[in-house]
Structure 1
Amino acid sequence: MAQKSPATATPPGAGEIPSAQPPSGSVTALRIGAAVAGALPSVVLRLAGVHLAPVPGMVVFGLGVLAAALLLMWAAETARADISGPLALALLAFIAVLPEYAVDLYFAYAAGTRPEYAAYAAANMTGANRLLVGVGWPLVALASYFAARRRGAAPGITLREHRRIDTGFLGAAALVAFVMPLTRQISWVLAVVLIAWYGYYLFRVSRCGEDDEEELIGVPARLAALPQQRRRATTVLVFAVAAGVIFACAEPFATSLVDAGASLGIDRFLLVQWLAPLASEAPELIVAVVFAWRLRGDDGLGALLSSKVNQWTLLIGCLPFAYLAGGGAASLPLVERQVDEVLLTAAQTVLAVVLLLDLRFLPWKAGLLFALFAVQFALPGESARVTLSWVYLALAVPLLAVRLRQLPPTVRALAGRIEGDPH
């Protein structure tokens, strides 16, 4: 990415993002109103304490999740008029994954007095992280592939230079994460380190500018054209409404999925590990796939990258404190199965980071991550998880060897300037 010249460089938040023929105010209001209307039944039912049967619950609250995802995407794109694009995506990723925080922190808090819930907290966290990389990233690649074919573009996603910040921070966090299976706990010391690391990550992305912003279309284009104060107030309001809808819908949507699965005789632990995270990750997955379908694969994968960073740092860091608040010790213990799950998740993260060091996410990389993710269901035994962890790491070594020249710029991105960063 070329460095902006002093005469043209614009710091994040200064000036407007160019828009392409925004719709009229009435059309914009109608589209936002339709999204809110789609979410309203789920919010009303949740506030009224109405409990639906599993299948109707999946439909009503699933519609709420879809509406929240749409509002999130509009708000994140509009926010680029006032903050850097990477920070806007980080904000989108954080809000979209709030249901995961709510579920995991509840399990960790309950584990303070009910030790069996500690297993659920670890299962939900590791399941969500592996789903994000093993299914979410390939879904974005698939959407990008078909979008590229439709428009005659080359397949694969090319990430912009500033994505080295995300990959660098995620890689460092992945290496630190091996402390958890080695010590068989998530200690408060590790928690403090991870939370601080996420804080520093936000600082770095907030100072990262872009010189090739996409033109806004549709609702974001109209909102970005508003006067500054109105635009900012509207962006905050849309973010807040989306977050509220996600909070209202996530738990009953996940519960409906789990209950429906349990009625079919599926193990509840597996449901907590896979179906519940799938529900809580739905908003960000929808947004990322839509970005990719619009040939904005960098933004789609960037949103999931940022989500992976915050879940693998801030979320894990919050678990011991929730456990302590619920009456437990200062460190959240991990039993044998959770040790293996955390080890496998850390190993998957290492391979994922290595694959992205060259800032290219090609179809074969997506296929590899998805295939390895699928293998764990064919080999569900505890020893198989350890074996698969070694497979991830064994693949990462030779792939890293041919990408060694990508390490210095990635390491520099953690602390200093990167190409295209105006600061």
Structure 2
Amino acid sequence: MTGFLGQALLYIVPFLLVLTFIVTIHELGHFLVARAFGVKIDRFSVGFGKTIVSRTDRRGTEWRIAWLPLGGYVKFSGDLDPSSVPDEAGLAELRQRVIAENGPGAERDYFHFKPIWQRALIVAAGPAANFLLAMVLFTLLFSAIGEQIVAPRVASAVPGSPAAEAGFQPRDLILAVNGRPVADGREVTQTVLMSAGDPVRFTVDRGGRQLILTATPERNLVDDQIAGRVRLAQVGLLMRPLAGDLSFRRLNPVEAFGKGIETIGSTVGTTATYIGRIFMGKESGDLLNGPIGIAKAAGGVTQQAVAANPDPGWMAANLALTFLSFAALVSIGIGIVNLLPIPVLDGGHLLFYGYEAVARRPVPARVQEVGYRVGLALLAGLMLFATWNDLQKLSLFKFLGGLA
């Protein structure tokens, strides 16, 4: 029982800490831009449910910490519609009520009566805050640990694998993949992961001679400490650097900032490519994670950080750096998801505002209602699919009856 509780704490606590921190920053993005535009705000909550502690500032905003640490929210005054985009009738009713309670002109302080461009910026500020957080975290990371480049040197090719059939040999150095120069082994791995079933051209240096080798990645079932049981695209290359294949350099804050931007761009591009391949039927969606998968990943990175060095000082430093990296990646993921054009998400609100800007009137109530329901169903379906993936990665169904 004690072991189970320990494992639960190892997985759940890091997950809740990371999730609450990232969602709070997301909501803080909405809050700060709304406050800059003079929007009246009722509440900023860290967590959900019953209030633990709260205070009200001089502008009438209640700041509270609630008992359920699953993120947080910001509530604008008059924000009663679940989609946050009331129609013309709803706006007229809200205007009358606000004027009756606070006098003429008071409605100008309410979110729904702000110009479209201000409302759009307020909504977009949430995902923007996630990307900004990732940028800051990556800048701190690269400033603290620098940049290590491990050249993609081939140690061996798994017998019978696509790499072996392509003719890879030990000590081959990969110079480019699909014509794009690569300097680090991680670039090779990333391209292979996104290329299941598609031929990949490798430019290889073999004893000073350049060769073009072509291999088609195949999906293999892999047990990963962080991701669980997943099918990953592989060509069967084992890479191990030689003495001269390792390089390291310290990065100043400007260089670290640039590297952080590059990492965010690469992560967003890879995510977009993966989602696109899912819609084209080239990927199964195994790498999509729900809350269980994120919790497992949080526990996995915690275990790795603790096991890396038993010294308490090194352990604390390694945990801090590991969680900074993990939080940055999760923050990018939350930013991307919130920009999806689904009505219950920020991207859906921006879609409605785009219509309002063109049509000169809000989206009709009936359309909003249908859009909200469809969006909620899509989001629920996505979460169910991701949770199904999580359970399969944990081998739960295999344990229960060999279904996986």
Q: Same fold (TM over 0.5)?
A: no
Specify the structure having the higher radius of gyration (Cα): 2
Structure with the higher helix share, 1 or 2 = 1
Larger RCO: 1 or 2 (CA < 8 Å, sep 6+): 1
Give the TM-score, by structure 2 length.
Answer: 0.27
Query: TM-score, normalized by length of structure 1?
Result: 0.26
Q: Which has the higher strand share?
A: 2
